[in-house]
């Protein structure tokens, strides 16, 4: 409740304050048409925003701002923007550079992203942008606790109009709910609901920083699979394989389960009980994966199936017990893939690993992802190349027969969604001679043992001569 009041306060403050404030660059652009489609069908909220932007100033504009209310900015997992080029049939999309930015006079802690146009927008020109942004942890279960037989209802808070530092001439917002069961939604005329869709708008001529808070209360029984922490370790062996170990701490992020868990009802009346719970998960693994295991602290978990394919492999697995709201499960998935698919030699002689970032589980949010790339012993000058910013660190790990330890490139990112599953590269230099170090060590150890026993047999250690 506090949050909602606060949003109202924001809205009022924004309205008063914004009519006075002036933005040097903001005033030069205006949004001719904005269409926003917000997909609420899973617990990852995806918003598709189509903006038609016009430069009404005198100077060419090189970039524009996207604004987000502070409640969303902390849950914002990703913002992507594409410029639509060409006319209807020959549309091509050009990815644009988007980066978070600070505005000194941002009203009420609004957050900003700066979208750089491919070519500066000349006066009077228009451009169409497709913006995708993804929000996590934005569906708030209400009631907070449900029993086994109840369905899960959630709130979604947003604004009926697009928060923008620019004047918006015309705009519409659509909310897509997973089922037709919608308990309530805030009415901001014109607003109506048809089936699984709620439409707000069209609204004409809204001033910059207009805000009209709305709440949608609806049923959402999709699996709220939240990985609180995921540690992925990729160990490179130049002897021919990559060993990947993934430590999951999974929880059901939806409405908390209260009261009894009845096995009778769960197994005999499956369709109406525990509808918000889930007991199966799907992980998309690379093709040609082998030696897959699935276990936890106390041993192997036998409920998993692996389907391998040319494009991808799918691991379907079940935690030991179905997950109800608030229940947790930790487990480890490990697998091996052939090295030649992922390790290449760069033209400058360095080697690089090309692997997929993110979490292999389908439709899950990862609150904290730590990705460790364990380079072979003797590797030097590691550097990681990623399409987005992450925290980077270097560690040393000791594995079998290591003496100096292996360099570990640690990449750490919060709030990761499936859209982050994009390739990244880690470059390093490595001399193949190091590959022989460990076998030679073993050979010499055995040699030493044999020589000692040989010597022992031949040397007489007796003090007294026989």
Interface region with other proteins, contact rule CB under 8 A, candidates 196-204, 270-278, 295-303, 363-371: 295-303
Q: Assess 243 for contact with other proteins (CB under 8 A).
A: no
Q: Report residue 51 as tokens.
A: 């903006």
Contacts with 113 (C-beta within 8 Å, 6 or more apart), sequence order: 65, 66, 68, 79, 98, 99, 100, 101
Interface region with other proteins, contact rule CB under 8 A, candidates 12-20, 230-238, 294-302, 343-351: 294-302
Q: Assess 245 for contact with other proteins (CB under 8 A).
A: no
* 184 vs 302, beta carbon nearer other proteins: 302
Round to whole Å and give the CA distance between 145 and 39: 24
Whether the CB-CB separation of 185 and 193 falls below 8 Å is answered with yes
* In the complex, minimum distance from the CB of residue 236 to other proteins, in angstroms, rounded to a whole number: 17
Q: Assess 367 for contact with other proteins (CB under 8 A).
A: no
Whether the CB-CB separation of 124 and 55 falls below 8 Å is answered with yes
Round to whole Å and give the CA distance between 327 and 7: 31
Q: Which of 229, 296, 314, 363 binds other proteins (CB under 8 A)?
A: 296
Q: Report residue 218 as tokens.
A: 């609806």
Q: Assess 247 for contact with other proteins (CB under 8 A).
A: no
Q: Assess 454 for contact with other proteins (CB under 8 A).
A: no
* 21 vs 245, beta carbon nearer other proteins: 245
Q: Assess 74 for contact with other proteins (CB under 8 A).
A: no
Q: Assess 226 for contact with other proteins (CB under 8 A).
A: no
Whether the CB-CB separation of 277 and 247 falls below 8 Å is answered with no
Whether the CB-CB separation of 131 and 49 falls below 8 Å is answered with yes
* In the complex, minimum distance from the CB of residue 449 to other proteins, in angstroms, rounded to a whole number: 12
Contacts with 208 (C-beta within 8 Å, 6 or more apart), sequence order: 18, 23, 26, 164, 165, 166, 167
Q: Assess 402 for contact with other proteins (CB under 8 A).
A: yes
The size of the chain, in residues, is 466
Interface region with other proteins, contact rule CB under 8 A, candidates 230-238, 292-300, 420-428, 456-464: 292-300
Q: Which of residues 129-148 bind other proteins (CB under 8 A)?
A: none
Contact letters for other proteins, residues 319-358 (x by CB under 8 A): -xx----xxxxx----------------------------
Q: Which of 259, 309, 387, 439 binds other proteins (CB under 8 A)?
A: 259
Q: Assess 263 for contact with other proteins (CB under 8 A).
A: yes
Q: Which of 5, 92, 300, 462 binds other proteins (CB under 8 A)?
A: 300
Q: Which of residues 266-285 bind other proteins (CB under 8 A)?
A: 267-268
Q: Which of 12, 385, 401, 422 binds other proteins (CB under 8 A)?
A: 401
* 53 vs 375, beta carbon nearer other proteins: 375
Indicate left, alpha or beta for 77 from its phi (over 0: left) and psi (-120 to 50: alpha): alpha
* In the complex, minimum distance from the CB of residue 437 to other proteins, in angstroms, rounded to a whole number: 12
Q: Report residue 413 as tokens.
A: 């990112």
Strand order in the sheet with 29-39: 61-68, 111-121, 92-101, 76-85, 126-135, 45-55, 29-39, 167-176, 197-206, 191-194
Contacts with 150 (C-beta within 8 Å, 6 or more apart), sequence order: none
* 264 vs 455, beta carbon nearer other proteins: 264
Rg of the chain in Å (alpha carbons): 28
* 187 vs 395, beta carbon nearer other proteins: 395
Whether the CB-CB separation of 181 and 193 falls below 8 Å is answered with no
Q: Which of 3, 105, 96 is nearest to 53 (CA)?
A: 96
Residues touching other proteins, count (CB under 8 A): 29
Token match 């640690």: residue? Answer: 410
Q: Which chain residues interact with other proteins by CB under 8 A?
A: 259-264, 267-268, 295-302, 320-321, 326-330, 398-403
């Amino acid at each position: 409740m506090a949050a909602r009041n606060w949003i109202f306060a924001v809205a009022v403050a924004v309205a008063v304050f914004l009519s006075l404030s002036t933005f040097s660059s903001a005033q030069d652009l205006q949004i001719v048409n904005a269409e926003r489609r917000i997909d609420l069908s899973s617990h990852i909220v995806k918003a598709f925003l189509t903006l038609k932007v016009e430069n009404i100033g005198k100077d060419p504009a090189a970039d524009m701002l996207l604004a987000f209310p502070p409640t969303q900015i902390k849950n914002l997992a990703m913002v992507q923007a594409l410029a639509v080029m060409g006319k209807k049939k020959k549309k091509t999309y050009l990815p644009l550079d988007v980066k978070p930015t600070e505005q000194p006079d941002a009203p009420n802690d609004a957050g900003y992203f700066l979208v750089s146009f491919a070519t500066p927008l000349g006066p009077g020109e228009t451009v169409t942008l497709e913006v995708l942004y993804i929000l996590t942890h934005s569906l708030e279960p209400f009631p907070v606790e449900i029993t086994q037989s109840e369905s899960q209802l959630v709130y979604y808070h947003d604004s009926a109009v697009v928060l923008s530092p620019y004047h918006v001439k015309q705009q519409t917002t659509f909310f897509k709910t997973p089922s037709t069961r919608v308990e309530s939604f805030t009415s901001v005329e014109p607003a109506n609901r048809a089936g699984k869709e709620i439409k707000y708008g069209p609204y004409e001529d809204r001033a910059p920083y207009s805000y009209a808070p709305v709440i949608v209360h609806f049923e959402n029984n999709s699996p709220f699979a939240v990985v609180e922490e995921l540690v992925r370790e990729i160990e490179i062996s130049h002897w021919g394989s990559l060993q990947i170990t993934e430590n999951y701490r999974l929880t059901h992020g939806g409405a908390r389960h209260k009261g009894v868990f009845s096995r009778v009802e769960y197994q005999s009346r499956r369709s109406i009980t525990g509808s918000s719970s889930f007991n199966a998960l799907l992980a998309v693994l690379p093709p040609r994966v082998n030696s897959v295991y699935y276990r936890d602290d106390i041993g192997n978990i036998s409920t998993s199936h692996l389907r391998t394919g040319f494009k991808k492999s799918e691991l379907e697995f079940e935690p030991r017990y179905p997950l109800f709201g608030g229940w947790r499960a930790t487990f480890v998935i490990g697998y091996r893939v052939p090295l030649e698919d992922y390790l290449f030699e760069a033209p400058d002689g360095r080697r690089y690993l090309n692997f997929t970032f993110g979490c292999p589980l389908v439709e899950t949010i990862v609150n904290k992802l730590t990705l460790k790339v364990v380079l072979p012993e003797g590797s030097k000058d590691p550097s990681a190349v990623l399409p987005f910013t992450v925290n980077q660190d270097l560690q040393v790990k000791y594995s079998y027969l290591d003496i100096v330890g292996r360099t570990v490139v640690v990449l750490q990112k919060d709030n990761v969604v499936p859209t982050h599953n994009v390739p990244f590269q880690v470059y390093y230099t490595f001399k193949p001679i190091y590959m022989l170090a460990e076998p030679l060590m073993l050979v010499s150890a055995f040699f030493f043992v044999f020589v000692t026993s040989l010597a022992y047999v031949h040397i007489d250690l007796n003090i007294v001569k026989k």
